Structure 1
Amino acid sequence: MTTLSRRNLLRASAGLVPAVALGARPAQAVLAPVVTTSGTAPAALAGFDNVMKTFVTERNISCAQLAIAKKGKILLARGYRYSDGSQALPSVTPTSLFRIASLSKHITAAAIMRLVQDGKLSLSTPVTTLLGLSATADPRLKQVTVLRLIHHLGGWDRDKSKDPLWLDHTISASLDVPLPISQDDIVRYVTARPLDHDPGSKMVYSNYGYMLLGKIIEKVSGMSYESYVKQKLFAPVGITRMRIGHSLRSEAEATEVVYSSQYTQKSVMDDSGSTVPYQYGGFNMPNQGANGGWLASAVDLVRFSRVFDAAGPVLNAASITKILAKPEIGISADGSWYGGGWYVRQVPGNLNTWHAGGMPGTYTYLARLQNGFTYAALFNRREEQGTLDYDVLSPLMNAQIGKVTTWPTTDLTSKYF
């Protein structure tokens, strides 16, 4: 942290305002921004709490959350509001809802494995068979299996052909369909075009591939993607708040935070051509669905992460092993690999897993590390032009783990569910 940012944080904590000289006409007070918190942060875990306060202060992030669990017990649950108090903004609680972006992917992978576990789906089945897709535009589409979709091995490269989840206007014009477009429109557009490389040849992150997994879940289960996940994954572990989000601020859930972005975009919700805040109507949130459409709180995410720790009511041991297994292309140069909705790395005696998420107005991070340590951090703003690096959050948090001398024993789970 720079000297200036430390000074600003100290001033914010103290609530300092500029002094007024004796005999001078009082100037209008300038309110210093301050971080207000809610929830529970034990003294033994104050280092994590301080990392979050500094992080949001330096980046001017108005809403954030942190939850920490160890060996199944939730030990810290915090909401953060950074504001100068000039606006009447609601507080952020440990159960406020945030868009979690790509942290949705491990949920989708778990839903796929639950269908496999129940004998309703095979990971080797081609997507063309499951969804009735034509391979006329590219016969290689028949080689795209469920397992390859999970591992981002489907053959699409957004750096070459762009990400179709963010091409609403292009797809609308190409298919001559009105806005908002549907997931079926996206599938029709992409299926009519060739793949960018051979399926299974290399890992290239694909939001579209995970959107297809959501379509597969619906086709095989006979339920909507959201309903299936709620019934088969969330209900068995007592999670009730999580749901698919909406695009517009007027559609937000009662406990959902307000998202922030400095950018505007032409609306994808209608054909008016109007310019809107990027985070509210500049992309289609329900279409993100299985790829990045869920709302959750940090405590929800650390609670759900437990289904990957050991066999339970959601996944058995074989399903967990398969989600975390190395893909057919092996490991990357840094020793990690992409499993089912998780980046994975082997460390002595443990598999560390993690994932980040981002979209306009959202940055999220979830990690499961050695010694049973899990944390989720959610923010209502992502890194944009002129802001500081957000990727430093992970090493900052990891550095605090070794500084904890005594871990709290009080489990906060029942307090926030």
Structure 2
Amino acid sequence: MATFSRRNLIKTGAALAPVLLTARPAAAAPPPTGLQTTGTAPAELAGFDEVMKTFVKEREISCAQLAISKRGRLLLARGYYTASQARYVPPVSPTSLFRIASLSKPVTAAAVMRLVQEGRLGLSAPVTTLLGLPAEADPRLAQVTVLRLMQHLGGWDRSVSLDHLWSDHAISAALDVPLPIDHADIIRYATARPLDFAPGTRMAYSNYGYMLLGRIIEKASGTDYESYVKEKVLAPLGITRMRIGRSLRSEAAAGEVAYASQYTAKTVLDDTGTTVPYPYGGFNVPNHDANGGWLASAVDLVRFAGVLDAAGPVLDAASIAKVLAKPEIGVSGDGWWYGCGWYVRQVPGNLNTWHAGGMPGTYTYLARLQNGFTYAALFNRREEQGTPDYDVLSSRMNAALNKVASWPATDLGPRYF
């Protein structure tokens, strides 16, 4: 096709159209690279921000969050995410949702104590009576009470027998039922087997025990576990984002981060035997509801932790005292004990409480320390083969706490709650 200059148009006598001058579009900003942040980190708390930046860089974590409160005021709310030219991770805001794994246990324990406070449940009530479980396989099952479940004294030891919440394929085969299995299948399988030790004689961390507490909450409240927790525990605290997660990437909640793991697994969501990314079908998230199934943001969790600070809309002083009380087996050799949903340690003038959580694609940590200081840190990857130790997080945060010279006077709560 011929092209015509302005001179050619004059020579041929063609009508001149007005010349339109349009600005060239501005060059697009280059995509971000490296570690990015969102939210607010006051200068006084820069040490905590640096701890998180170093931690995620060392472990190549692509999504993380940190929230810090002091005496009920939200002082830091931060999202962290990485981006590269090969693949971009959506920005993580301070209110993005993460699977919180075993940080679900303090939430479940608060719901149980609320039912006790309402007079609808007793701490000494046996699980056999509450859920109608037979004790033929082990008569000691009748000695498993609500309190012993909350304190991991129920008699199940995952280092001796299977962790029933992570044994979907074995349970499906043993019961000759198709995948996915449900709570009733897990309970039927476990009840038909002897306990690993006498209830009340020692502590062994038990996801199964907390799954049973979820079913007890349903029985005592007359509603489903998630609804009761939302209505009686979360709503009175002004927490609206938290919910039970789902298994598949396609089922992710709005604002939920993506999870990373180097491992794959056979899906537990059907009998196809398909290999899937471990965080997306290698386990059934709703089955873990009461022991590890909640989604939350870090700011939600520091607000939830305030349920133990003083008598409030969820728990009264007597209930809080029961949550923090030493169990019948006493204190560990290292000076800590497991109360109701929390690890507890006596320090001068304070009871420090904390909990960690982990599952494929998730590592979480929540701590209430002296002087009203609380923090929650969430990550979309847990420690795996070849990654640096994740347990150093708490010691690094404690070191940063000891260096704080002054605290911000502002409260970020209205911005993020």
Question: What's the TM-score, normalizing by structure 1?
Answer: 0.92
Structure 1 segment 13-412 matched on structure 2, within 5 A: 34-412=34-412
Computed over aligned residues only, the root mean square deviation of the Cα atoms, in angstroms, reads 0.9
SS at match of 2:378: strand
Tell me how far apart the structure 1 counterparts of residues 231 and 173 of structure 2 sit (CA, whole Å): 37
Tell me how far apart the structure 1 counterparts of residues 298 and 223 of structure 2 sit (CA, whole Å): 27
SS at match of 2:160: helix
Tell me how far apart the structure 2 counterparts of residues 334 and 84 of structure 1 sit (CA, whole Å): 44
Q: Which amino acid aligns with 2:389?
A: D
Tell me how far apart the structure 2 counterparts of residues 413 and 181 of structure 1 sit (CA, whole Å): 41
Following TM superposition, by how much is the alpha carbon of 1:51 offset from its aligned partner in structure 2, in angstroms? Answer: 0.6
Tell me how far apart the structure 2 counterparts of residues 173 and 57 of structure 1 sit (CA, whole Å): 42
Q: Which amino acid aligns with 1:295?
A: L
Write out per-residue CA displacement over residues 15-62 of structure 1, whole angstroms, 9 at most, x where no aligned residue. xxxxxxxxxxxxxxxx99511000000011011001101100010000
Tell me how far apart the structure 2 counterparts of residues 323 and 124 of structure 1 sit (CA, whole Å): 14
| Runs of 4+ more than 4 Å apart | none
Tell me how far apart the structure 2 counterparts of residues 85 and 49 of structure 1 sit (CA, whole Å): 25
Cα 1:85–1:321 change in 2 (3 A) is farther
SS at match of 1:320: helix
Residue in structure 2 matched with residue 9 of structure 1 by the alignment: none
Whether the 8 Å contact between 2:260 and 2:361 is mirrored in structure 1 is yes
Whether the 8 Å contact between 2:245 and 2:285 is mirrored in structure 1 is yes
Write out per-residue CA displacement over residues 257-295 of structure 1, whole angstroms, 9 at most, x where no aligned residue. 000000000000000010001110000100001000000
Whether the 8 Å contact between 2:100 and 2:293 is mirrored in structure 1 is yes
Tell me how far apart the structure 1 counterparts of residues 211 and 329 of structure 2 sit (CA, whole Å): 22
Report the number of matched residues: 387
Give the gaps of 5 or more residues in structure 2: 1-30
Q: Which amino acid aligns with 1:242?
A: M
Following TM superposition, by how much is the alpha carbon of 1:89 offset from its aligned partner in structure 2, in angstroms? Answer: 2.4
Write out per-residue CA displacement over residues 216-242 of structure 1, whole angstroms, 9 at most, x where no aligned residue. 000010010000000000111110000
Whether the 8 Å contact between 2:179 and 2:271 is mirrored in structure 1 is yes
Question: What's the TM-score, normalizing by structure 2?
Answer: 0.92
Following TM superposition, by how much is the alpha carbon of 1:80 offset from its aligned partner in structure 2, in angstroms? Answer: 0.1
Tell me how far apart the structure 1 counterparts of residues 238 and 39 of structure 2 sit (CA, whole Å): 20
Tell me how far apart the structure 1 counterparts of residues 32 and 80 of structure 2 sit (CA, whole Å): 16
Q: Which amino acid aligns with 2:235?
A: A
Tell me how far apart the structure 1 counterparts of residues 35 and 89 of structure 2 sit (CA, whole Å): 13
Residue in structure 2 matched with residue 13 of structure 1 by the alignment: none
- Identical-residue share of aligned pairs (%): 74
Following TM superposition, by how much is the alpha carbon of 1:343 offset from its aligned partner in structure 2, in angstroms? Answer: 0.3
Tell me how far apart the structure 2 counterparts of residues 32 and 323 of structure 1 sit (CA, whole Å): 45
Q: Which amino acid aligns with 1:370?
A: Q
Following TM superposition, by how much is the alpha carbon of 1:87 offset from its aligned partner in structure 2, in angstroms? Answer: 1.7
Whether the 8 Å contact between 1:56 and 1:82 is mirrored in structure 2 is no
Following TM superposition, by how much is the alpha carbon of 1:83 offset from its aligned partner in structure 2, in angstroms? Answer: 2.6
SS at match of 1:310: coil
Structure ID, larger Rg = 2
SS at match of 1:158: coil
Cα 1:174–1:337 change in 2 (3 A) is same
Q: Which amino acid aligns with 2:57?
A: T
Give the gaps of 5 or more residues in structure 1: 1-30
Whether the 8 Å contact between 1:57 and 1:82 is mirrored in structure 2 is no
Q: Which amino acid aligns with 1:409?
A: A
SS at match of 1:409: coil
Q: Which amino acid aligns with 1:414?
A: P
Tell me how far apart the structure 2 counterparts of residues 89 and 357 of structure 1 sit (CA, whole Å): 23
Tell me how far apart the structure 1 counterparts of residues 271 and 162 of structure 2 sit (CA, whole Å): 22
SS at match of 2:159: helix
Tell me how far apart the structure 2 counterparts of residues 341 and 180 of structure 1 sit (CA, whole Å): 28
